[in-house]
A and B are shown apart, each in its own frame.
Chain A
């Protein structure tokens, strides 16, 4: 096998090697972190540490090997250990009621009314403000939710289990467009949808899964990518694949669930989104706690703050203000002034090889964002520049099956001044409801802070 030589720096070095017929990888080098000396010191320490290398290698191997399976569905209160008493879970890092974003407050108070902990929305506000109904992040109990990410005991959730690392993860069912908890709408219709999902659809899925066995969620995602989903902003194919997998067993063992499931999925192209989120959460939880690992495990936003956790520091969140979603595409009559900050736990899928990492799989998402396929490929390339590996499971059809970028290395983020892109929706800042979509960018400061803390912690041992 011939020698493969990487070059960084003077062009003429790569030219001389090329002239000799050597196999050359010429890095498009420029000063790391804009040449900032403090950042260069941090990066030098981070790249010099073999514990980080070893940790990241282990993390990539675990992400490649993860096989999260959909094993069940049902009421959150029956399934999520620790979801007890009057407790509402929400997307993003911990946040006080006073600082909670508009859409998330609306979904939370609707959940309080649904649970019967308050007679109306005003009383629910009071209970949440007084703390008689407690708030906690989904992540605190091993769950993750899209957009507002509200989970109360009566909310339907997916149960995903990765036997490889003995991790279970949960995510609330996606309640569709318009009047929905996940979009921050606190109407009677959105409460009705939650009841239908928890009382009819989720039990149907659960019965079907018991009969036919678990569904390999990431295998389903891999197929969906080949059918034009990015598995974040678009889940049309994944939703249909999920229904196709489960429908025969559901028709046989829970026929009463078929019609509501058909009605829900017919009008909800995002139905499988939260299943993907639960699966990616399970896979990513498998790397949390690997000593020295500098991969970003979770990116989590609540519309007020954006938070980052890196795998090597399992007990800490690093936060910054949640940014507005970039490249926004608003429904008529809406603008940045109406937009809530970036929200949802869903950005973890970008750390697991999906979403923006898989942009090149989805010409229709590219077109929706007003760009060409090349723009989508560019987004995947950007994710590749901060990823330590390529997925062995998720191929990109238009790039001859090249794997999607897998994982996000905080070191590369700081070096290149780049953070994961997040293909996401935009909610109204006070009224809730979706007013647009776009590409958010996770803030760099918490990633840099996390890397500095990791290097500091390694330096102490």
Chain B
């Protein structure tokens, strides 16, 4: 039987809707559940899932729908309701007599807007924020390159910054925005056209006895020719003028060569020592005053040293024997995937990836991996409307079982990314499936790197202990994990 509820004119974000459906499916007596806005496409999906009651069929695009099917679905409906009715945890809800939460970003008085609405509305919200004098962090993706350029040019003219679209990480005034780790405050300012790249270098600056003054994200397309690094250049300019910043570190996914040149020149002209890691870029002539490194850990180390730290570099794990077969990287972080693919390509030859990674061959969206391969599971073809794997480990757990069952695969390579907004216990979610895979295939090796700090909500040492107890080999940095994986099969 199907039970349903339609809430006319109510809206909830997709993460909340999925959480509500998940809560319903966790109840006994529930076979399937869905929570969605009543758009024609969603109603069609509900029909295919056998969740279309008369009440559901009559819902409109502005109506929120809960539909639960099973032998005894009432408990599921109640669970979904509870989840939907919870406000943002810890954020004071507007109550009787209190001023209501603002209904529009237009007219809000703030310094910075963190925007994570669906892409169709993201440019509108970002323009509102700019008009009100706010810097913008645009977590949303699916924003056109045209809109990105218009937003960034306007921001530049107004002396503001648009980080994104698709910007996953920033640290401003000691506050981490979106996916960010709890790192020591210090002398290194970071500009990152690479979300998890920013997390990795800020975490490593913390570990290398240095620290972060601020970290600006730019969004993955900023260093494309069409955008011309508007945000990266403005961010470098801000760091150049920031008295707390003594060293500037710039990291990016593969940039357009001309734009990379402009960014390196801006670093050189900043008047401050600088380091850079432009993943997958062919060797560039570093201008004087800029240390260019091929991997995130080397770049973070260079920056820490420029800032006066003298860190000890942890020894990588020794490799006693070699296992013949392929390396398959299953990543939640896109930049960490690109970096690993580039390192594997250096050491193992042909590597395939669905993420941009220099010399690695490019897998088409949805194309199954072959040979040595690194998959960015944050890409749409693996999430299919589910939350990002850093929030919800389900997509990776499913993929892990598939790859472990492939007897040509010798090493699984994983990233475990901690910090605010990430899953509360990613290692715990992976440990069971990893144990199962290693029980089924005693020769399989699993290599992982935990990108996080002791101060992160998940606590790095606890996450590492959980993984180690499951038999995972740990490396101290993302690049180190990729090098270890390569060494294991070579």
Q: Which residues of A contact B (CB under 8 A)?
A: 2-20, 22, 24-32, 34-35, 37, 40, 43-44, 47-48, 50, 52-53, 374, 377, 381, 384-385, 387-389, 399, 402, 409, 411-412, 415-416
Contacts and interface: CB of A to CB of B under 8 A. Distances in A.
A50 B120 contact: no
B420 A6 contact: no
6 closest A-B pairs by beta carbon, nearest first, are A9-B116, A30-B11, A16-B420, A6-B110, A11-B88, A47-B127
A28 B114 contact: no
Contact of B107 (A24, A35, A399, A409): A409
23 contacts: A3-B173, A5-B175, A6-B129, A8-B105, A8-B116, A9-B114, A13-B116, A13-B421, A15-B88, A16-B420, A18-B90, A19-B420, A20-B176, A22-B175, A25-B110, A27-B108, A40-B124, A48-B131, A48-B150, A50-B131, A50-B158, A53-B132, A402-B99
Contacts of A47: 106, 124, 127-128, 131
B88 A18 contact: yes
Given A18-B91, A388-B106, 9 more contacts: A3-B112, A6-B113, A7-B116, A8-B116, A9-B140, A13-B116, A15-B88, A27-B103, A409-B106
Interface string B168-189: 0000110111101000000000
B100 interface: yes
A37 B123 CA distance: 13
**Interface core residue of B87, B111, B114, B129 (most chain A CB under 10 Å):** B114
A26 B101 CA distance: 7
B323 interface: no
B109 interface: yes
Nearest to A24: B91
A189 B157 CA distance: 65
A17 B61 contact: no
Contacts of B177: 5, 13, 17
B55 interface: no
Nearest to A415: B104
Given A27-B105, A377-B97, A12 B176 contact: no
A11 B16 contact: yes
B120 A40 contact: yes
A25 B62 CA distance: 24
A6 B109 CA distance: 8
A35 B120 contact: yes
A24 B105 CA distance: 13
A416 B104 contact: yes
Contacts of B178: 13, 16
B226 to A, nearest CB: 19
Contacts of A25: 102, 108-110
B91 A14 contact: yes
A14 B455 CA distance: 20
B101 A15 contact: no
Contacts of A24: 91
A29 B123 CA distance: 14
Contacts of A19: 90, 420, 457
A355 to B, nearest CB: 19
A186 to B, nearest CB: 44
B61 A35 contact: yes
A412 B131 CA distance: 14
B183 to A, nearest CB: 12
A48 B154 contact: yes
A132 B157 CA distance: 58
Interface string B79-102: 000000001111100001101111
Contacts of B120: 31, 35, 37, 40
Nearest to B125: A8
B208 interface: no
A4 B110 contact: yes
**Interface core residue of A7, A29, A37, A411 (most chain B CB under 10 Å):** A7
**Interface core residue of A10, A43, A53, A412 (most chain B CB under 10 Å):** A10
B397 interface: no
B35 to A, nearest CB: 14
A8 B113 contact: yes
Contacts of A415: 104, 106
Contact of B175 (A17, A28, A40): A17
A411 B106 contact: yes
B117 interface: yes
Given A5-B175, A9-B116, A44 B15 contact: no
Nearest to A385: B103
A381 B89 contact: no
Contacts of A412: 104, 106-107
B13 A11 contact: yes
B286 to A, nearest CB: 34
A385 B103 CA distance: 6
Contact of A6 (B96, B112, B117, B176): B112
A30 B91 CA distance: 18
A374 B97 contact: yes
A3 B111 contact: yes
B111 A14 contact: no
Contacts of A416: 103-104
Contacts of B61: 34-35
A358 to B, nearest CB: 15
A30 B103 CA distance: 8
Contacts of A377: 97
A59 to B, nearest CB: 13
A24 B112 CA distance: 10
Contacts of B99: 381, 384, 399, 402
A12 B421 contact: yes
Nearest to A6: B110
Nearest to A389: B107
B139 interface: yes
A223 to B, nearest CB: 24
A374 B175 CA distance: 36
B481 interface: no
A32 B134 contact: no
A310 B175 CA distance: 41
Contact of B121 (A13, A31, A52, A374): A31
A14 B112 contact: no
Contacts of A18: 88, 90-91
Given A47-B131, A50-B154, A27 B102 contact: yes
Given A17-B114, A47-B128, A374 B96 contact: yes
A27 B107 CA distance: 11
B12 to A, nearest CB: 9
Nearest to B61: A35
Interface string B141-177: 0000000001000100110000000000000110111
A17 B111 CA distance: 14
A3 B113 CA distance: 11
B111 A9 contact: no
A47 B88 CA distance: 27
**Interface core residue of A8, A25, A31 (most chain B CB under 10 Å):** A8
B363 interface: no
A260 B99 CA distance: 45
A7 B61 CA distance: 24
Contact of B91 (A10, A26, A385): A26
B101 A28 contact: yes
A5 B113 contact: yes
Contacts of B154: 48, 50
Contacts of B97: 374, 377
Given A15-B89, A44-B127, A388-B107, A8 B421 contact: no
B117 A8 contact: yes
B115 A9 contact: yes
B91 A13 contact: no
Contact of A3 (B62, B172, B457): B172
